[in-house]
Amino acid sequence: MLFRKDTSPQAADGTVTGGPPEAEAGATLTVDCAAIARNWKKLSDYAAPAECAAVVKADAYGCGIEPVVTALAAAGCETFFVAHLAEARAVRDTLSGATIFVTNGLASGTAPVFAEINAQPVIGNLAELAEWDAFRATHKWTGGAALHFDTGMNRLGLSPNEAAALSPRCDMQNHGIALVMSHLACSDEPDHPLNDQQIQTLREMRQLFRNIPFSMANSSGIFLGAPAHFDMVRPGIALYGGNPLPGQDNPMEPVVTFTARIVQTRMVPEGATVGYNATWTARRPTRVAIAAAGYADGYPRPVGTSDTIAGGQALVNGQRCPVIGRVSMDLLAIDITDVPDQSPGKRRGDVVTLIGDDIGIDEFAAWGRTISYDVLTRLGRRCHRVWKN
């Protein structure tokens, strides 16, 4: 879902809302665009003098492509990477002067659209390159493209063996090569030998494509140091608060807060079960809060605690409480027995925090047996949404 604003005026502090009104939604997703901008600035300073671009595919990792690219541009970001042409159009509709690369390449017949919105395909095979060259020649289009070489991911990209045959293009007037790039496969494992192999393979290509900018590092790749930076780095998940250094303290600011409204509280007697398939059994008389969020809102189904598997938690008045039983499509259950009786979060209409404050996106993703990328891109499809600037 791309960014949708409601018709209410922007608040004096720059806050914008979207999606259904808060009263009509069970959950709220809040995105701190100022934190995204600060994360970008931190990465940019770390990678300098390389240019720091921004990856804003998948609706800016679920955070809203329009407000995110607006905040990043205000912070100084000039180059944006998306996966699909529709995402490139969304960026162009927001920023008239941005440089936009489309990493999934040139879909057949779409070259005129690239020209229309002045976006640049990331060419990953010779068939794409031939179609792009034919379009440029026929229409006298001078816009550029990136060449993507596969140095070890074995996903997209030209073979390094094809580099020598393509390098003479650099001697042609209007050669159209705006960038040469590759993608690290194991950058979140700093000691993995494939990192050095990939970096070295791309470095050797610099002799073939002189005076062309090179790019390799993603979020974790930035922290591999200067050899991985080349001329441009392309952070994604780190912009949105994900930890680019697994196993170490997260150097990035948190970005998203996910909250849900309590629709009912109830007492569950000892020995009774909660939720589908009776996977959780009360070992004491238990006060349970039912929150209006579920897997239809992007809350991972495996988060709930069962009788045999420890699950995740929610924050009720700042106190961690177990999420219990199976997470269902629209609802989840929270054990609030140990929360003092007069605390917020124990009554209908109160709000509990599912992500945010003391619960980081990576910890939350681990409870769901997935990764922060997966969580972020699924959150908030039917939530009330708030963008803070």
pLDDT-derived band at 4 (thresholds 50, 70, 90) equals very low
Residue count (the chain): 389
pLDDT-derived band at 326 (thresholds 50, 70, 90) equals very high
- As a whole number, mean pLDDT of residues 243-265 equals 96
- According to the model, what pLDDT value does residue 344 have? 72
pLDDT-derived band at 238 (thresholds 50, 70, 90) equals very high
- According to the model, what pLDDT value does residue 13 have? 66
* Cβ neighbourhood burial of 129 (10 Å; 0-12, 13-18, 19+): buried
- As a whole number, mean pLDDT of residues 277-304 equals 96
Name the one residue in this structure whose structure tokens are 């490139």. 88
- According to the model, what pLDDT value does residue 170 have? 84
- Model confidence, pTM: 0.93
240 among known catalytic residues: no
- According to the model, what pLDDT value does residue 10 have? 59
Q: Is the pLDDT of residue 224 over 80?
A: yes
- As a whole number, mean pLDDT of residues 151-178 equals 92
Secondary structure string (H, E, C) spanning the chain: CCCCECCCCCCCCCCEEECCCHHHCCEEEEEEHHHHHHHHHHHHHHHCCCEECEECHHHHHCCCHHHHHHHHHHHCCCEEEECCHHHHHHHHHHCCCCEEEECCCCCCCCHHHHHHHCCEEEECCHHHHHHHHHHHHHHCCCCCEEEEECCCCCCCCECHHHHHHHHHHHHCCCCCEEEEECCCCCCCCCCCHHHHHHHHHHHHHCCCCCCCCEECCCHHHHCCCHHHCCCEECCCHHHHCCCCCCCCCCCCCCCEEEEEEEEEEEEECCCCEECHHHCEECCCCEEEEEECCCHHHCCCHHHCECCCCCCCEEEECCEEEEEECCCCCCCEEEECCCCCCCCCCCCCCCEEEEEECCECHHHHHHHCCCCHHHHHHHCCCCCEEEEEC
Catalytic residue, from 42, 140, 240, 276: name it: 276
Catalytic residue, from 57, 295, 299, 346: name it: 57
pLDDT digits (tens, 9 = 90+) for 38-94: 999 999 999 999 999 999 999 999 999 999 999 999 999 999 999 999 999 999 999
Q: Is the pLDDT of residue 153 over 60?
A: yes
299 among known catalytic residues: no
Q: Which domains does the chain have, with CATH numbers?
A: 34-240 (3.20.20.10), 256-359 (2.40.37.10)
pLDDT-derived band at 1 (thresholds 50, 70, 90) equals very low
- According to the model, what pLDDT value does residue 343 have? 73
Angstrom distance (rounded) from CA 11 to CA 30? 14
Q: Is the pLDDT of residue 9 over 50?
A: no
pLDDT-derived band at 5 (thresholds 50, 70, 90) equals very low
pLDDT-derived band at 11 (thresholds 50, 70, 90) equals low
- According to the model, what pLDDT value does residue 12 have? 55
Q: Is the pLDDT of residue 6 over 50?
A: no
